[in-house]
Structure formats: C-alpha cells, structure tokens
Amino acid sequence: MKKLTLISLLSLFAFGATFDLGACRSCHPAIVKEFEASAHANSSAKKDPFFAAMLKRSPEKKSCRNCHAPGAKSAEGEQGMTCLSCHRIESIENHAQANRNIYRKEQDKLLFSAQEGREEKVIRYHEESIWFGLKTRRVGSPYHDIDYRKEIFYTGEVCMGCHSHKVNGHGLDLCRMGEEGVKKGKPNCITCHMPKVPGSATSIRQSDTHAWHGAAGLHHGSEKLAQYLKLSVTPDERGFTVTLKNETPHPLLTHPARVLELDTTIDRQGKIQKLPAVTLRKVLGKGGKPTPPWLADSVLKNDIPKANEVKRFHFDTQLSKGDRVEVILGARLLPPPLTKKLGLSEDEAALIELKRSSYTVSK
C-alpha cells in the first residue's frame, strides 16, 4: 500500500486547500475512477463550459461557489467538488433561498459515510488480536476515521445542501427538487443516483459491491436512471398515443435550462418516417419575455413531467399491421439556440438518450 506523505495528509483534510485525489485513489481506485468522470468532479468553471458561460453573466456568482467549487477560493476556481465536499458534511442548514452544507470544522481526519450494519459505529484505525493472540489484523483505514452514524448519509438528505432548491433575488423558484426522495430505505436520492455496483469499495477491506460514484444524471450514467421512466405506444382509430410516465419522486428535469425531447419514428417495411419531435421545457421570464434565471420573476412555461406524472402525446398518423414504432426520450443540457448566444460548442446541446422503446403493430 502506498504511504501518504505529510503534504498529502494536510491537503486531504484541510478543507479549502488544493485537494489531492491521488491520496484517495491508493485505497479506493474503483471509486475514484468513477468519480473523475462524474458531474461532481467536473463542476468547476474550468471544466464545465456552460457553467463558465453563465458565471460570466450572473450577478449571483458568489453563491455558485458553494456547490460548484466548495473548496476553491472563488467560483472561477479550477477545483470543483472533491471527496471532502460530501464526506465532511455534518448537517444541512435549511434556508428559503438555498440550503447550505455545514462542514466539520475540526481539522482532523474524521470522514462521514454510510454502510449497512455499521449505523451506530465510528471506526478508528487500530490493530486487534485474533487466533488467541497468535495473529493481529488491522481494522479501519490508517489515513482517516469513519463515522457511520450520520442519518443524512442513509436518507439522501446529504444531497439537499445543493440539490434541494434555488430561489433567485426576485423570489422565483429556479429549481426545486422537493424532499420526497429523502427517506430511509429504497428508493432515495442515493440508492437511485449511486446504485450498488460490483467491486470492492476499498483495497483495505474487500466487499462484493460499492456505491457507484459516477452520480447518475444527464452528464454521466443516464442509462442507470432509465428504469424510472416508462414509455408505451397505444394505437387507436385516429393514430396512436405515446405515454410517458415519470416514476421519480421529483420533476424529471429540475435545471431551468434543460430540455426534454421525444423523437418518434415509424418503420414501414424498411421505409422510415420521422414524426415531428415533441419538446418539453421550463421557460423563465419577466414581462412576458424569456430572460436569464437571475432576471426572471415568473415561469412562462413548464411542461416538464412532475413527480410521478403521466403525459400523453397523440400522433394523427394511422398505423398498419407490421409497422414498428420507435420512441426515444432524450434530454439536452440547454436549448441549441442558447449555445450560439453563449459562444459554446453545439456539442453542449447534443441529445442525451434517456429511454428507448419500440412497438410493433400485430393487427
């Protein structure tokens, strides 16, 4: 096992200093690899072009740092979220405009986590005798202690410091997740967005599975959320209806820039007919006109599926026996026209597939 230098240890636990991810990699290689590809690890303005573009224009940039770059000295800092951004959270402070993560103040080596069967334990590194004192074994990590007693790490409340809600200076909800996903047991924020996957959590103590640290969402791992979306096709005399059911306990998309798109095609004996796309989004504005989030005082439009909502879309296209209807539900991080306005690459608005379903007419 690699030894940590004094510098590595200092950088690991001095929250706000430059974080050394390599210190964690030595014991958690699988988790660090997953985390590096996540939206969390790439949340800073240096790594997220859309966030950087919005940051240049927003007058509320100071508050952005709290979640996008909690360990940096400014919102423009290169370092985004790190392992400490979550594992040093002691509690969540609720506020009307946005919640706040309360971090452990002591500059010690205590981290918080969750593990079934250890809910009442604090594990500190030590050696204990086994086999009647003939052998010894190590318990815990030599690099940090672990407190498994924080309930917020079991219910998903730990996510609510950043993912609960955001209200702008005009009192308008820009996004609101709600607390329905915060609960003990399945499903909750963590069990859905950080599902158990094969592989040991650490090289120190072997386990069959670990919580996936890629943070499933639009940026990465969207396929892990497909099970919570249902698509179906129902023919009728006038055409057919596509039904979309959002089985999540929150709006399907919460960020005000996100766009949902439903693409439907009909394959009739090898000839493909593409039907008009259905676009769903939330539009914020002022005086009846669309505006950036920080200027908005009203919601001009919002047809994003709510928690557990069912939406139906009818197409006046007659189906014949043997026709194959394919439906793809996708999402864009922002509307394509906005990429030009912000000077971003068109790739930033590329369609991200969330769910695909097909139906073949049998009679």
Average confidence score pLDDT of the chain: 90
Comparing 175 with 128, the larger pLDDT belongs to 175
pLDDT digits 0-9 by tens, 174-219 = 999 877 778 777 789 999 999 999 999 999 888 999 999 999 999 9
Calculate mean pLDDT across residues 129-138. 73
What span, in angstroms and rounded, lies between the C-alpha atoms of 276 and 240? 14
Q: How far from the centroid of its chain's Cα atoms is residue 53's Cα?
A: 20
Q: In the prediction, which pLDDT does 42 show?
A: 93
Q: In the prediction, which pLDDT does 79 show?
A: 78
Residue 192 in tokens: 């859905």
How much of the chain, in percent, has pLDDT values that exceed 70?
93
How much of the chain, in percent, has pLDDT values that exceed 90?
73
Domain ranges within the chain, ordered by starting residue: 6-41+81-211, 222-360
CA-based torsion, 108, 112, 115, 117: positive or negative: positive
What span, in angstroms and rounded, lies between the C-alpha atoms of 252 and 236? 28
Q: Does residue 294 register a pLDDT over 60?
A: yes
The confidence band for 72, taking pLDDT boundaries of 50, 70 and 90, is confident
Q: Return the CATH number of the domain spanning residue range 222-360.
A: 2.60.40.10
